Amino acid sequence: MIVVSVRRPSAEGAARDRFVPVIERDGSLYNADLDRFFLDLPLNGVRSPHSLRAYGYDVMLWIRFLEEACGKSVWNAARSDVAAFHRARRREDAGARISAASWNRSVAALEKLYRWAESENLVASSPFTHRDVWRRGHSAYRARVVARNDAYERAAKHSDVRFVSLEDYRVFRDVGLRGLTSDGAERRGARDRNGARNALFAELLVMTGLRLEEASFLLALEFAGLAHSAGGGGQAWFKLPSALTKGDRGRSVLLPRRLLQQIAAYVTVERTLAVTKFKTREGWRAIRQPIFIRQPTLGAIGLPLRDGGVIPIESLIPDERGRLVICDDNGAPQEPGALWLTEVGLVVQPNSWEAAFARACQRCEAAGFPMRVSPHQLRHTFAVHMLAMLIQHRLRDAALEATGSGMDGYRRLLGDPLQQVQRLLGHASLTTTYIYLDHIAARADTVDAAVEELLALVPTVSAS
């Protein structure tokens, strides 16, 4: 039986590989070359545990299909096998049929597999066929996009984007995470002991659009001094290192001064108490393969290892960030490098945030406010509301232009806000950002206000 399982690295193995899947047959490694592909995934931009699990699952299903239905190995697949796999996955009975989005996800995984296999001379050619396509850009030219995989389904749409209104978010934050009453009063015995920290984490997500893994493994030293750098502008740019972001696409996000001040207060009080317990209980012993470093200087681009050498901050993947332990001048472990800590000073893992959000939703429902809010939903919330507000500002600018030399056109009207949100979210393609346009209708209050402003500024056409 072919199965996918979690890799168990040896004591001398790299802990960074612990989320990398491994495909086995009857308890033994299925194929050594295929295993090299999985081990190379973190080096090729696929590092999040969720993505790695998805790759392992999709490749495993493909291998099972090839052996059981086609009698072939993974390195002998042909175009006809892809077509048969599509029929089996997308045209079977409704109960077994997967969605177009799930199909496209599996195609993306297999496309990466066979591109890697071609580079390693394991296959002469990929079982997928490709063709050149053209995609219209937002400037005066058209951008040529080459080698589109024909197996992708064009009709697949990300129509399942879920976000919350800002009013519902406030209820979720205050009633669900902080344990307050609906009017903001203290609820005796109902407050979450980590409520303030959890609410601050939610604020970070909804104000920046960070992914859960990106926000979970921020370092405390990266925030040192940022509150002062915001200055009179009220905001500070924060550069996310490439190794922390999806697909190695580092980007910068804007952090409001108010949020930076709240994070500074958390570090001073709550995090300091957690660090004290970490030292008292020798919490570093609970960390698998800790990375001991000395206290870095403010603004340093490298972290000095306790036993010599330097690690560039830019190259640290999320798992490594979660294993950093800062030592004093004598080499004694003092505190984790991560920003977000549990009560005893250990790093708050992404699944712990998801559990905290689930408890908050239960608390909201018990208080008469049924809702379902996840960390990733707050990323969507940021995107939809930010896009609506940017469009509102562009409409206002267009209205001012309309009173003079005329409007600049819809491409400029919508292109600028979309590209700004694309950069803030770290999307590789503007096409991904387009999905939020379908949900702007839920922000009709903002767009309607902008249209009203536009109509008020545009000169009235007199009747002849």
Lowest mean pLDDT, pick from 62-71, 218-227, 260-269:
218-227
pLDDT score at 131 = 80
Last residue in a domain, options 87, 113, 131? 131
- Helix, strand and coil content of the chain, in percent to the nearest 5, comes to 55, 15, 35
Here the contacts of 249-252 (C-beta below 8 Å, separation 24 or greater) are 249/426, 249/428, 250/314, 251/423, 251/424, 251/426, 252/423
Asked, for residue 142, whether it belongs to a domain, the answer is no
Containing structural domain, residue 170: 166-366
Query: 71, 86 in Cβ contact below 8 A?
Result: no
Lowest mean pLDDT, pick from 55-69, 328-342, 444-458:
444-458
Q: Which whole-number Å values give the CA distances from 350 to 88, 283, 318, in the listed order?
A: 34, 19, 11
Residues 117 and 174 grouped into a single domain: no
- Whether the pTM exceeds 0.75: the reply is no
Share of the chain above pLDDT 90, in %: 48
pLDDT score at 460 = 45
- Confidence band of 66 (pLDDT split at 50, 70, 90): very high
Q: Which residue has the higher pLDDT, 217 or 165?
A: 217
143, containing H or E segment: strand 142-149
Report DSSP state, residue 321.
Answer: H
User: How many structural domains compose the chain?
Assistant: 3
Residues 342 and 389 grouped into a single domain: no
Residues 209 and 287 grouped into a single domain: yes
Average pLDDT for 181-201: 80
Residues 391 and 285 grouped into a single domain: no
Sign of CA dihedral 348, 351, 355, 356: positive
Residues 388 and 259 grouped into a single domain: no
Lowest mean pLDDT, pick from 253-257, 388-392, 412-416:
412-416
Last residue in a domain, options 302, 334, 366? 366
Last residue in a domain, options 113, 131, 149? 131
Asked, for residue 136, whether it belongs to a domain, the answer is no
pLDDT score at 423 = 81
- Residue 446 tokens read as 């903002």
Q: Which whole-number Å values give the CA distances from 308 to 163, 292, 316, 379, in the listed order?
A: 47, 10, 17, 39
Q: How far apart are CA 247 and CA 375, in angstroms?
A: 20
